[in-house]
């Protein structure tokens, strides 16, 4: 099983190699798609072969780097994309147009927008392709490495915050958490955001379960430990069942997949008390309102009803320091057929095993209709959770909670 969404070989800085895991084929098939151009980056982002706000930004940035490198190589043919390589000003202008096109691939997640803003500055500062190539290479490496470091920090920040909070509340014992969509290694450069916190909580549980001689440090002295995770299936694209479930199985973290419609009943009936929900973010605006996968708002409302803490976990690259409230967020609408049809690996009805092609032995993917083809559907990819429903925003710089006036003070993140 591969948990690497992006393979980036940087051993030859002037000739990098980039491959993206086709997440539409998971969890049964592991196949990587090579990226050579901005068009390749646009395509894998638009079709959701790669997804998750940080991963989208990384792949978008890498696609600009590969295109800049291709422009300098012998395999570049003049007719491609109308670059006039004899004139730097025209190259610069054309590149900026291509970058704007890339940004149109998915509008809600702010991470790609933030990276493109940085890339535009690098393009503006450079006087030659080679100089731009060097700057872009350094920028991309830093983006990827920093994302991983941030995720590890957020994981530990979130885990210790929850454990200390439970201790203050006087809770001791085993507990479960909820999560939606996928926010793990496949959505980032590794470890994950919300799933990173769950990974850190699980590490702490493992240390606590071992004999007292364990050398690894506990995250907190509290006597509570995570013993179960409930990932939501996350309709209609099923990032929870395809990706989060895959990551939890990979890490051997005890988990039970639940449908999006069973949250309240699960909380009410679970023998292991559910103590928190951790979700990622595609955009957090100045007042803390958060765009994330459709269903997140509903999860937050249910958590509030049951007095369960609801946390958003995201790096600073997911902060939109310009938009004041959630009303200013443009929510991406997806194609109706992503809702009316389910795409997956074909399963033999008798054996219940995946079907392989007789000639190639490859697994067969299948689309199955689950609604009348002409029914009108509403298919927003995201929703916006108002800050009133959010108990904490976990970042690499610490955990932000609301003051007595019930507002977040996020200014230091902008």
**Which residues are the active-site residues?**
282
89: exposed, middle or buried (Cβ count in 10 Å: 0-12, 13-18, 19+): exposed
Decide whether 220 or 236 has the Cβ nearer to ligand MRU: 236
Do residues 139 and 121 touch, judged by C-beta distance below 8 A? no
Query: Which residues are within 8 A (CB) of 408 and not within 5 positions of it... i.e. 6 or more apart?
Result: 287, 288, 387, 390, 393, 400, 401, 402
CA distance 255 to 267: 14
Decide whether 147 or 204 has the Cβ nearer to ligand MRU: 147
Q: Which residue is nearest to ligand MRU (CB)?
A: 280
Minimal distance in Å, beta carbon 407 to ligand MRU? 23
Minimal distance in Å, beta carbon 310 to ligand MRU? 14
Minimal distance in Å, beta carbon 209 to ligand MRU? 28
Decide whether 103 or 206 has the Cβ nearer to ligand MRU: 103
Q: Where are the alpha helices (DSSP H) in 5-128?
A: 38-46, 53-71, 88-103, 110-125
Minimal distance in Å, beta carbon 371 to ligand MRU? 20
Minimal distance in Å, beta carbon 173 to ligand MRU? 29
Minimal distance in Å, beta carbon 150 to ligand MRU? 11
Do residues 202 and 219 touch, judged by C-beta distance below 8 A? no
Decide whether 110 or 129 has the Cβ nearer to ligand MRU: 110
CA distance 295 to 181: 9
Torsion of CA 288, 291, 292, 298, to 10 degrees: 80
278: β partners = 179, 311
CA distance 322 to 414: 8
Decide whether 126 or 236 has the Cβ nearer to ligand MRU: 236
Tokens of 202: 């699980």
Decide whether 51 or 387 has the Cβ nearer to ligand MRU: 51
Name the residues that contact ligand MRU, by CB under 6 A: 51-54, 109, 181, 183, 187-188, 193, 239, 280-282, 292-293, 381
Question: Which of 401, 151, 408 has its CA nearest to residue 285?
Answer: 408
252: exposed, middle or buried (Cβ count in 10 Å: 0-12, 13-18, 19+): exposed
């Amino acid at each position: 099983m591969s948990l690497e969404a992006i393979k980036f070989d940087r051993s030859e800085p002037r000739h990098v190699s980039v491959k993206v895991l086709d997440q539409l084929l998971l969890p049964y098939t592991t196949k990587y798609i090579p990226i050579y151009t901005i068009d390749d980056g646009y395509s894998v982002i638009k079709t959701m072969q790669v997804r998750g706000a940080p991963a989208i930004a990384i792949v978008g940035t890498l696609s600009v780097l590969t295109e800049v490198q291709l422009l300098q190589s012998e395999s570049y043919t003049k007719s491609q994309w109308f670059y006039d390589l004899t004139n730097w000003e025209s190259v610069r202008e054309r590149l900026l147009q291509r970058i704007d096109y890339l940004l149109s691939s998915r509008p809600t997640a702010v991470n790609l927008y933030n990276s493109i803003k940085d890339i535009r500055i690098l393009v503006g500062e450079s006087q030659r392709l080679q100089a731009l190539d060097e700057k872009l290479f350094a920028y991309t490496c830093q983006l990827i490495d920093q994302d991983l470091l941030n995720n590890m920090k957020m994981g530990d920040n979130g885990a210790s915050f929850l454990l200390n909070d439970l201790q203050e509340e006087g809770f001791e014992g085993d507990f479960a958490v909820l999560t939606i969509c996928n926010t793990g290694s496949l959505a980032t450069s590794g470890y994950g955001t919300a799933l990173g916190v769950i990974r850190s909580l699980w590490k702490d549980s493992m240390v606590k379960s071992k004999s007292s001689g364990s050398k690894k440090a506990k995250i907190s002295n509290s006597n509570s430990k995570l013993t179960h995770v409930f990932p939501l299936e996350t309709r209609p694209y099923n990032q929870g069942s395809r990706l989060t479930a895959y990551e939890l199985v990979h890490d051997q973290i005890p988990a039970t997949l639940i449908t999006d419609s069973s949250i309240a009943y699960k909380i009410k009936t679970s023998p292991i008390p559910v103590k928190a929900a951790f979700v990622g973010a595609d955009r957090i605006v100045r007042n803390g309102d958060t765009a994330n996968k459709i269903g997140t708002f509903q999860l937050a409302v249910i958590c509030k009803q049951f007095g369960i803490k609801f946390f958003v976990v995201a790096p600073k690259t997911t902060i939109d320091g310009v938009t004041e409230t959630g009303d200013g967020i443009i929510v991406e609408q997806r194609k109706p057929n992503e809702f009316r049809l389910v795409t997956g690996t074909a399963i033999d009805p008798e054996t219940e095993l995946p079907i392989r092609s007789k000639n190639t032995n490859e697994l067969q993917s299948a689309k199955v209709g689950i609604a009348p083809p002409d029914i009108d559907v509403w298919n927003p990819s995201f929703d916006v959770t108002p800050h009133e429903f959010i108990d904490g925003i976990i970042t690499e710089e610490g955990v932000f909670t609301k003051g007595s006036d019930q507002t977040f003070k996020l200014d230091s993140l902008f």
